[in-house]
Structure 1
């Protein structure tokens, strides 16, 4: 066994401790407007219904055994204060750096929330209790529970971590599976997951690719002739995207190599001097390519 001079340091003390809420010193007090937000009300309802799911994180203060730094869980502690609680069980961090706990906020996507609700229902939790815990209407819980019914598995896999509204999945349900895949690929390529964009894709979907819809599609302010033109343009766009995807990896690799080569070439003063005297137009383009942060930025 290899021994090192620096033993591994644990991030948290092994046991949680119960402390007085009055002894907590917040490193980032919540703004007054937070209490008026819907998210605050949802967390408050959850605390009332099922208690704290995750303990606040605190750190000890050297030379002060009576107080603690509150690193994470400011909103939860504020809610406990409002509920008249005087103590809270906390996780004790061995590091007093609050950035570690707050540098990212992980939010549930619509697909992840659907999976969470289904798991709760499978364990016997009623829709009413889930609604109370999440501060939602019961109909919203039922809607979330059936969100992915009719959506093909490939699309669910592609959008499972994507933050998109529930309406997008409900629009995709109105298409056949193959068209669902095409529409999803277009949304990913455009990095646009809004309901408005999904509605436009639905409007451009041929009738024979709709699931159960046989009536002609009508969009306010769009004539049938414009709709037909939109469908043709969309079909051409999909063909172009398919062609680009086939060569994108190879082209991007070649451009990356070219960018690196030009960077080294322009690092040679003699080459720069020659280009400046004989081919100044080349030098301008070479410098633009070498200085580009990414080829995506160049395209934009």
Structure 2
């Protein structure tokens, strides 16, 4: 059977209408992205990200624990006046400034991520704030990324952008999860991007929103602390290693702190 041919004008009109529908869908997507993942898939992404962030937070806490052990030890042994005199005679009295501050009870100041507030928005809702554009200027994002960000308020956009950068390769599904679990007070008015959560109870959805917000705050705080903390641990470890490499220091510690000497030795072999 020979296929029926359309007149040129009719064919053109059909093509034009298809293009218009396609353009309309794209434009609509730019302001209200569709989220097509099923609830089990969504929960899988949620659980994986929750586990990953908790592991990172635990890693940073372990770094801080190692540093605290060195600080407590150095504070203990330098509290001995004769030991301080020994350090001075061996040229070991000058310790890193950051370690000295911690021993004195004044850890070095560092920035940390505070809970964001929806009160002050630098731009109108539904736009991308300049801070986000600056943060993402070197990132290659997936299609629809900015459409997703437009449904949340600017302060939430900044938090999501930071989380995206920290995560590594930008994943649109990860951003969808963050948007879907955004507290209502941080959503643009009349936007409710939570179709993946429709099968969950209201209490379960609220629990997930609260839990993820808490984990994200702790994660960003750990992210801020990790760099400075790592440098502090390196300098403190090297200083303590210098002490334990000095034969006179080692003999003094073995003689005057016999119950703690094994602990002192173990501190020198802690892997960073």
The TM tier, using the shorter chain, reads 0.3 to 0.5
Please give the TM-score of this superposition, normalised by the length of structure 2: 0.43
Please give the TM-score of this superposition, normalised by the length of structure 1: 0.39
Higher relative CO (CA 8 A, sep ≥ 6), structure 1 or 2?
A: 2
Structure with the larger helix share: 2
